[in-house]
Amino acid sequence: MKMFRGGIHPPEEKESTRAKAIEDFPLSTLYSVMLQQHLGGPAKVIVGQGDIVRKGQPLSEPLGYVSVPVHAPTSGKIKEIAKKIHPVTGTLSPCIIMEADGRDEWVEGLPCSRDPFIMERDELLEAIRAAGIVGMGGATFPTHVKLSPPEGKPIDTFIINGVECEPYLSADHRLMLEEPDKVLNGARVAMKILGVDRAILAIEANKPDAIRLMEEKAPPEIRVESLSVKYPQGAEKQLIKAITGREIPSGGLPMDVGTVVQNAGTCAAIWDSCSKGIPLIERITTVTGRGVSDPKNVRVRIGTLLKEVIQFCGGTNNAAKIIFGGPMMGIAQFTQEIPILKGTSGVLVLTEKETDISDYSACISCGRCVEACPMGLLPSTLSKLGEKGTWERALKNDLMDCIECGCCTYVCPAGRPIVHFIKHLKALFRTAGAKSKGA
């Protein structure tokens, strides 16, 4: 099977949810919709306290091209515009808090019915932008931008990412099993926008049922490719290398080697937005781990509070840590009073035993992190620079090429939190850049 260099084989831990059908989360009474749920420029709030809104109604408008709006997850009234802790950044961030009226009424004109395959390219891109579609694998980059490569960057290969290599998560797996046509039709719309006549749906070999079904359902222009089980197989650069043999240059993007990659969930959202005008107001999230009583795959509205989602899954069971995402690249949370975001692919609840981490020691120069790094970097060197905070030297060691996959930390016998040192260096670099701009 095709693969990339480096990588690791952590326990898959998908048994508790991979065979569980998606369950619809019931309507909540209160939603907290974070304004910033995408990479790129901010959006501006266009509703105020006391306003009556309907399901699918825009609550914000983008202030730039690399930006998207957020929408009302149901019908109700805006309770307040406040600053709440953001689950990704950990900082106070603008949040639109709304009270549901229980009627769940769509805004006028939605959903509609239209044929995306007779729509013009610009119409499709505008539908995707207006729907607030972002990368749902966790990256949250605005989809309309990703599907609009500049002239001089011809695309010949579109890749649908159904790999889902992060341990514990099964949301994309269940989506492909339960709504395959939506994924494939969304991919065909993306192909139409990009002007490509071939696509590859990549799925790890540990999902044989999804591979079989997609091979039966896929049109001739979409080839299903089974990939070896290896983390981080689903990372864009590694996926492109495994599928096409092409290597993205340092600081480059997939479009630099003629490819565009979209997550399977993103493709489904593209179909909803282009065929029905439905904005991104819900997503499938895997709620799992030994610290939750009844693991599930849940279709949940954006803005639903984490505490309600966990309660829907039976509540916690000797829980010690809650992570948004998976164990390798997820972000630990310190409260359940935070909302589900567009990029929340999973909620992982770990027990005390699983989070018992001993103190780390000095690097023993074993080279295991170098061997495991899928980007061909020197994580041991970067971690030492991270302890000293010398980001200038780290930049010369390709700091910004790190994809923060966590392979280095996983294999380190000294228990060094290598990826955390690297994140610290990147933060220092960005802070220094912001200060220089303000000077």
- For 147-173, the pLDDT digits (tens) are 999 999 999 999 999 999 999 999 999
Instruction: Return d(Cα 278, Cα 106) in angstroms, integer.
Output: 10
Instruction: Return d(Cα 189, Cα 53) in angstroms, integer.
Output: 30
CATH 3.10.20.600 for domain 22-102+279-353, yes or no, is yes
Q: Give every residue of the chain whose pLDDT is below 70, as ranges.
A: 1-3, 356-357, 434-439
Instruction: Return d(Cα 129, Cα 180) in angstroms, integer.
Output: 23
pLDDT score at 435:
63
- Residues 189/270, Cβ–Cβ less than 8 Å: yes
pLDDT score at 292:
97
pLDDT score at 2:
58
- Residues 56/281, Cβ–Cβ less than 8 Å: yes
Q: Which of 385, 312, 317 is nearest to 351 (CA)?
A: 317
What lies within 8 Å, CB to CB, of 289 at 6+ separation is 168, 295, 348, 349, 350, 351
pLDDT score at 315:
97
**Residue spans per domain, the chain:** 22-102+279-353, 116-276, 368-438
Q: Which of 9, 12, 8, 10 is nearest to 374 (CA)?
A: 8
The residues pairing with 292 across neighbouring beta strands, listed in sequence order, are 316
- The pLDDT tens digits for 55-111 are 999 999 999 999 999 999 999 999 999 999 999 988 999 999 999 999 999 999 999
The H or E element containing residue 299 is strand 296-301
What spatial distance separates the first Cα and last Cα of the chain, rounded to whole Å?
A: 52
Tokens 């620079």, located at residue: 385
- Give the amino acid at 270: I
Tokens 């929408």, located at residue: 71
pLDDT score at 439:
47
- Burial of 164-182, coded b for 16+ CB within 10 Å and e otherwise, reads bbbbbbbbbbbbbbebbeb
pLDDT score at 434:
64
- Give the amino acid at 168: Y
- The pLDDT tens digits for 365-376 are 999 999 999 999
- Burial of 220-252, coded b for 16+ CB within 10 Å and e otherwise, reads eebebbbbebbbbbbbbbbbbbbbbeeebeeee
Q: Please give the structure tokens belonging to residue 11.
A: 């326990």
Give the fold, CATH level 3, of 116-276: Rossmann fold (3.40.50)
Q: Which of 405, 407, 382 is nearest to 395 (CA)?
A: 382
